A and B are shown apart, each in its own frame.
Chain A
Amino acid sequence: MNENEKVTNIFLSGVGGQGAILASNILAEVFLNSGYDVKKAEVHGMAQRGGEVTTHFRFGKKVYSPLIKHGDVDFLVSFELLEAIRYINWVKPEGRVIINNQMVFPPAVNLGLREYPKDVGETFKKYFKGNAYIINGQDIAKNLGSLQSANVVLVGALSSFFPGLKEELFLEAVKGLLASKLHDLNIKAFYEGKKAMERKD
């Protein structure tokens, strides 16, 4: 009855400079070209200075709000562990979570005033049994030759949840949004991300 029920909510979180915005731009191209209505909202006002970056990404037949309701996230994709746990309450009980296994210390941790949260992966596994995936995006990207491509590794990982989407659309989006010298690297990153998901379970 409610047409809004068909909307899928993807929440991306990370630290300025990790490529969360680019990742969401790739998703936007892919879902738009697959015939969906798409809306995306970012918070990155001062992210250049090491702050948090979050993106609300929504697709469906018709999307009204660019913002996801608190507690309504279907997929949480996080580029950093602390920025994953910060948004754990946003995810639906049956939601899925993909986390890049990387730590970036915020100032209070650097100064020794606060502790970086422990066992983030375990916490997610506890609440999202079988639906929490910790990806070593950093290592995968490093092996490919560029730390920068960890964001596309995560996009590849996420893509495995949408088998109906044409793979070429992801590759086209990567090509459309990145400089040509980065195409090969990022296309490899996409496939490595996909593979990383196969290895789980």
Chain B
Amino acid sequence: MKKQIMQGNAAIARAASDAGVKVAAAYPGTPSSEILRDIANTYPEIFSEWAPNEKVALEVASGASFAGARALACMKHVGLNVAADPLMTLAYTGVKGGLVILVADDPYSHSSQNEQDSRHWTRFGKVPMLEPGDSQECYDFVKIAFDLSEQFDSLVLVRSETRVSHSDTVVEFGERVEPAEPAGLDRKEWQKYVMVPMNVRAARIKVEERIRKLEAFADEFKHNKMELKDTKIGFISSGVTYNYTKEIFPEWSSLKLGMVWPLPKKMIAEFFEKVEKVVIVEELDPFFETEIRAMGYKPFRGKDVIPVMYELSPDIIEKALKGNEYREPETRVKPEDLPRRPPNLCAGCSHRPLFYALNRLGAFVFGDIGCYTLAAAPPLSAIHTTVCMGAGVAQAHGAMKALGKEALGKVCSVLGDSTFLHNGLTPLMDIVYNKGNATTIVVDNRITAMTGQQEHPGTGFTIKGEPTYMVDYEQIGRALGVKSIRNVDPYNIAETMEVLKEEMDKDEPSLVLCVDAPCVLLRREKKQFEYTLYAIDEDKCRGCKICLNINCPAISWHEGAGESTDGHKRKGTVRINPDQCVGCRVCQQLCKFESIKPVKKSQ
């Protein structure tokens, strides 16, 4: 078979197909999002879907498993928290068709709200976990995970992380398993699947028996690999951390754990016997180290020198373990002196005028996870909390209950359309039910934007691009009991401010929907602006900088003392980059001196 270079996530998708998966479900989350996209685009034999959240994704997959089909659920680390409820009980029911959860961690929190170590879920849930370290292992381990799932009647977790999911390394494919026809649902198996107390207690015994069997298996598992070279020092590691360690210490011995739970106890004992000094190199928490110390072994080095947070890398390991031998590179320029390049809302994004309006109103804004979180930074400075999906809706309610009437007009929550469907409906229902008065603003940009444009129940399309029923947010709001529902066009700042003020002042629950405001990168719903380009009339610009408050990437400040033609002294002028401007007209609404005008875009 020809070797290919492939992203870890693409290799996972291919493995799902080659393992005969019939159903795959996910909610997008970096760094896991490409898996379901690739499955939907490349492997039509798999039924694939974007679920409204990870809990639903796992529940869909488990239903397929109970019917006897192999099924995959994919999510990022924080998504596994959402799916924890079914996870913990599916550990009891076991499976029929192989059931695998692919969870992708994000050490260093490149694009996440925390930096948790998903390995804890495997111990907590008493289910096995595999951890690949490159694309080849992504492919191999996902296939193995399905076999193990059926062999041990257990849900199996496969843990990837940013550096494995988003690295491209060489892969050779193995044999494809033809998917078996699902065995079907069997009513006689109700005691296995109905977790009422009587059945739970029986299943509880099975859970313990299973983990003991898996422990024994771990000692035989060929991807738990002992490489004995020079035995003065040996490293215990897993996943990409193994590759970093090999990079720095190719000459020493190594125990690479392909299965990170349960641990191969005999193998670990043997390693401690054969190797003089054992060093444990693991990313994030001292998961192996805690367990290995609890077995009675004393590692030579571990989290005493290896950082317990952020992402590891070869140079961090080298610095930690070689100390003085590590050669610091020459500092030619201090990078901290350079301007940073943080992500920013796109030119023409509909969130920019909305958050500008909220800033002007002085509102405290309970936010959510999505592109709009970027509005927290100055100069927009209009998001004041971000915890998890749906949290802001409930938090605004809680805060207003705590503050009483004095909070009226000052508090709201903002969340995106996908986020609203993920977990915003339940807290909105709560606000109505518990006689709250919070205002919930849904920025409907008609796509799951932050993770790279994935469909959801509000877009009218499935993962395959097939038209489907489109959720009507207004109807949902009414069904939940919200009486005050308003539509606004966020590109009209004055009108938006007026509506927001009215709704936030009301002593009742409000739902504000931003309409006709699709993501500007979304080609399908390309927003039509009256003009496609605006420009600065430099004769009129007074250099007041008000237009800079929206932080549009197309607008920049250019120093240079002078005066406008009407005789106003200025220290510089602004300019609009014609390559970036899309004509949203937001800046024009801010300019008091009529120096921003539409022009014809020359191609």
**A-B CB contacts (within 8 Å), total count:** 162
Q: How far is the CB of A86 from chain B (nearest CB, A)?
A: 5
Find out whether the CB atom of B548 lies under 8 angstroms from the CB atom of A111.
yes
Cβ of A32: which chain B residues have Cβ within 8 Å of it? 3-5, 170
Cβ of A40: which chain B residues have Cβ within 8 Å of it? 5, 167-169
A3–B229 Cα gap in the complex (Å)?
A: 15
Which one of A60-68, A154-162, A181-189, A190-198 is at the interface?
A60-68
A30–B365 Cα gap in the complex (Å)?
A: 50
Judged by a CB distance under 8 angstroms, whether A45 is at the interface is yes
A42 and B327 in contact, given A71-B315, A107-B551, A112-B545 (Cβ under 8 angstroms) = no
Q: B150-188 CB contact bits vs A (8 Å, 1 = yes)?
A: 000000000000010011111000000000000000000
Find out whether the CB atom of A28 lies under 8 angstroms from the CB atom of B168.
yes
Find out whether the CB atom of B343 lies under 8 angstroms from the CB atom of A39.
no
Q: How many positions in chain B have a CB within 8 Å of any CB in the partner chain?
A: 57
A108 and B5 in contact, given A38-B170, A66-B169, A127-B332 (Cβ under 8 angstroms) = no
Cβ of B110: which chain A residues have Cβ within 8 Å of it? 43, 45
A87–B331 Cα gap in the complex (Å)?
A: 10
Considering only residues 89-136 of chain A, those with a C-beta below 8 Å from chain B are 89-90, 93, 105-112, 114-117, 123, 127
A64 and B244 in contact, given A40-B5, A45-B30, A71-B315 (Cβ under 8 angstroms) = yes
Q: A45-58 CB contact bits vs B (8 Å, 1 = yes)?
A: 11111111000000
Judged by a CB distance under 8 angstroms, whether B341 is at the interface is yes
Judged by a CB distance under 8 angstroms, whether B572 is at the interface is yes
Find out whether the CB atom of B331 lies under 8 angstroms from the CB atom of A67.
no
- Considering the complex, give the chain B residue whose CB is closest to the CB of A43: B110
Q: How far is the CB of B571 from chain A (nearest CB, A)?
A: 9
Cβ of A70: which chain B residues have Cβ within 8 Å of it? 313, 315, 329
Find out whether the CB atom of B169 lies under 8 angstroms from the CB atom of A39.
yes
A45 CB contact (under 8 Å) in B111, B333, B521, B572 = B111
A121–B3 Cα gap in the complex (Å)?
A: 39
A87–B328 Cα gap in the complex (Å)?
A: 14
A71–B313 Cα gap in the complex (Å)?
A: 13
Q: How far is the CB of B33 from chain A (nearest CB, A)?
A: 10
A38 and B5 in contact, given A28-B168, A64-B247, A112-B572 (Cβ under 8 angstroms) = yes
A15 and B111 in contact, given A32-B170, A69-B318, A123-B332 (Cβ under 8 angstroms) = no
A109 and B556 in contact, given A4-B250, A64-B243 (Cβ under 8 angstroms) = yes
Find out whether the CB atom of B168 lies under 8 angstroms from the CB atom of A46.
no
- Considering the complex, give the chain B residue whose CB is closest to the CB of A114: B339
A4–B243 Cα gap in the complex (Å)?
A: 12
Cβ of A29: which chain B residues have Cβ within 8 Å of it? 5
Judged by a CB distance under 8 angstroms, whether A83 is at the interface is yes
A106 and B339 in contact, given A32-B3, A43-B110, A70-B315 (Cβ under 8 angstroms) = yes
Judged by a CB distance under 8 angstroms, whether A143 is at the interface is no
Q: How far is the CB of A75 from chain B (nearest CB, A)?
A: 15
A183–B385 Cα gap in the complex (Å)?
A: 48
Find out whether the CB atom of A42 lies under 8 angstroms from the CB atom of B250.
no
Cβ of A10: which chain B residues have Cβ within 8 Å of it? none
- Considering the complex, give the chain A residue whose CB is closest to the CB of B112: A45
Judged by a CB distance under 8 angstroms, whether B240 is at the interface is yes
Find out whether the CB atom of B168 lies under 8 angstroms from the CB atom of A64.
no
A123–B111 Cα gap in the complex (Å)?
A: 32
Chain B interface helix/strand/loop/mixed: loop
- Considering the complex, give the chain A residue whose CB is closest to the CB of B111: A45
- Considering the complex, give the chain A residue whose CB is closest to the CB of B552: A110
Judged by a CB distance under 8 angstroms, whether B246 is at the interface is yes
- Considering the complex, give the chain B residue whose CB is closest to the CB of A104: B341
Find out whether the CB atom of B344 lies under 8 angstroms from the CB atom of A49.
yes
Find out whether the CB atom of A69 lies under 8 angstroms from the CB atom of B339.
no
Q: How far is the CB of A6 from chain B (nearest CB, A)?
A: 12
Find out whether the CB atom of B335 lies under 8 angstroms from the CB atom of A86.
yes
A108–B559 Cα gap in the complex (Å)?
A: 14
Judged by a CB distance under 8 angstroms, whether A23 is at the interface is no
Cβ of A116: which chain B residues have Cβ within 8 Å of it? 339
Q: How far is the CB of B156 from chain A (nearest CB, A)?
A: 25
Considering only residues 70-90 of chain A, those with a C-beta below 8 Å from chain B are 70-72, 82-83, 85-90
Cβ of B328: which chain A residues have Cβ within 8 Å of it? 71
Q: How far is the CB of B575 from chain A (nearest CB, A)?
A: 10
Find out whether the CB atom of B551 lies under 8 angstroms from the CB atom of A111.
yes
- Considering the complex, give the chain A residue whose CB is closest to the CB of B449: A48
Cβ of B342: which chain A residues have Cβ within 8 Å of it? 51, 106-107
Judged by a CB distance under 8 angstroms, whether A37 is at the interface is yes
A38–B169 Cα gap in the complex (Å)?
A: 6
Cβ of B556: which chain A residues have Cβ within 8 Å of it? 105, 109-110
A25–B345 Cα gap in the complex (Å)?
A: 27
Cβ of B551: which chain A residues have Cβ within 8 Å of it? 107, 110-111
A87–B318 Cα gap in the complex (Å)?
A: 20
Q: How far is the CB of A77 from chain B (nearest CB, A)?
A: 17
Cβ of A65: which chain B residues have Cβ within 8 Å of it? 240, 243-244, 246-247, 313-314
Q: How far is the CB of B555 from chain A (nearest CB, A)?
A: 6
A115–B327 Cα gap in the complex (Å)?
A: 32
A16–B250 Cα gap in the complex (Å)?
A: 36
Find out whether the CB atom of A46 lies under 8 angstroms from the CB atom of B343.
yes
Q: How far is the CB of B82 from chain A (nearest CB, A)?
A: 20
Find out whether the CB atom of B343 lies under 8 angstroms from the CB atom of A51.
yes
Considering only residues 535-588 of chain B, those with a C-beta below 8 Å from chain A are 545, 548, 551, 553, 555-557, 559, 572
B contact residues vs A (CB 8 Å cutoff): 3-5, 30-31, 110-111, 134, 163, 166-170, 240, 243-244, 246-247, 250-251, 313-315, 318, 327-333, 335, 338-346, 371, 374, 379, 450, 452, 521, 545, 548, 551, 553, 555-557, 559, 572
19 extra A-B contacts, CB within 8 A, seeds A82-B339, A110-B555, A123-B333: A38-B5, A42-B166, A42-B167, A45-B30, A46-B111, A46-B450, A48-B346, A50-B343, A51-B344, A52-B341, A64-B247, A69-B314, A69-B318, A83-B341, A88-B332, A109-B556, A110-B557, A111-B551, A115-B339
A-B contact pairs, 18 of them (CB 8 A): A4-B247, A28-B5, A40-B167, A41-B166, A43-B110, A45-B30, A45-B111, A49-B346, A50-B341, A51-B341, A64-B244, A65-B240, A66-B167, A67-B314, A83-B341, A106-B341, A111-B379, A111-B557
